[in-house]
């Protein structure tokens, strides 16, 4: 059985400049359909309508942070199974372990290279389905 294709990414990030560059990288280089949300609350209100294959989630955001957003996604049956990948500048080993314990599929470090972001996300997707 072939692995499902990654097409739709929900990108949750409060930094407007990162939204711009990552959105461009994922859409133009990755060919993904991307919905960018500026907060955890916005993501929760739009996730069902967008129906992403994967959620790319910033960790440190005002209000509802990344871990709280992940836990809220896990509580809803419709979104509980969507893989979530954190993006964060906090990539110490103990923090990565904590994110995985919370249910993150993987962690992408910031700052990131916009030219390779789409490939990184695609590799993570493929490893989840191998």
Partner 1 sequence: MTASLAPEELREYFAGRLPERLAEIEDACRAARDAGWTGQPLRTFHRLAHSLAGSGATFGFPEVSETARDLEHLLAGIMEDGSSPGEPEMREIEGFLAGLRRSAAS
22-42 burial string, b = 16+ CB within 10 Å, else e? bbebbbeebebebbbbbbbbb
Nearest to partner 1 of 15, 53 (CB atom): 15
The count of chain residues that interact with partner 1, using the rule CB under 8 A, is: 21
Rounded least distance, CB 1 to partner 1, Å: 35
Q: Quote the CA–CA distance of 16 and 69 in Å, as a whole number.
A: 18
Rounded least distance, CB 25 to partner 1, Å: 6
Of the candidate spans 4-12, 32-40, 48-56, 107-115, the one that interacts with partner 1 by CB under 8 A turns out to be: 107-115
* Side-chain-facing half-sphere of 53: CA atoms under 13 Å: 17
- Whether cis (ω within 30° of 0) applies to the bond prior to 111 is yes
Helix axes 66-75, 93-102, angle to 10 degrees: 20
The full length of the chain comes to 130
- Say whether residue 38 binds partner 1 (CB under 8 A): no
- Say whether residue 94 binds partner 1 (CB under 8 A): no
The residues in 109-128 that bind partner 1, with binding defined as CB under 8 A, are: 110-115
Rounded least distance, CB 90 to partner 1, Å: 8
In the complex, which residues of this chain contact partner 1 (CB under 8 A)? Answer: 14-15, 17-18, 20-21, 24-25, 28-29, 60, 62, 88-90, 110-115
């Amino acid at each position: 059985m072939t692995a499902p294709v990654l097409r739709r990414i929900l990108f949750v990030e409060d930094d407007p400049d990162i939204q711009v560059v990552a959105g461009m990288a994922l859409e133009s280089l990755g060919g993904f359909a991307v919905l960018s949300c500026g907060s955890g609350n916005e993501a929760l209100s739009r996730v069902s309508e967008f129906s992403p294959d994967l959620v790319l989630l910033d960790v440190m955001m005002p209000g509802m942070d990344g871990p709280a957003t992940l836990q809220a996604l896990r509580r809803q049956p419709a979104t509980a199974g969507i893989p979530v990948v954190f993006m964060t500048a906090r990539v110490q080993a103990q923090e990565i372990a904590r994110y995985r314990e919370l249910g993150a599929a993987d962690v992408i470090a910031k700052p990131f290279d916009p030219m390779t972001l789409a490939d990184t996300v695609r590799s993570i997707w493929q490893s989840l389905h191998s």
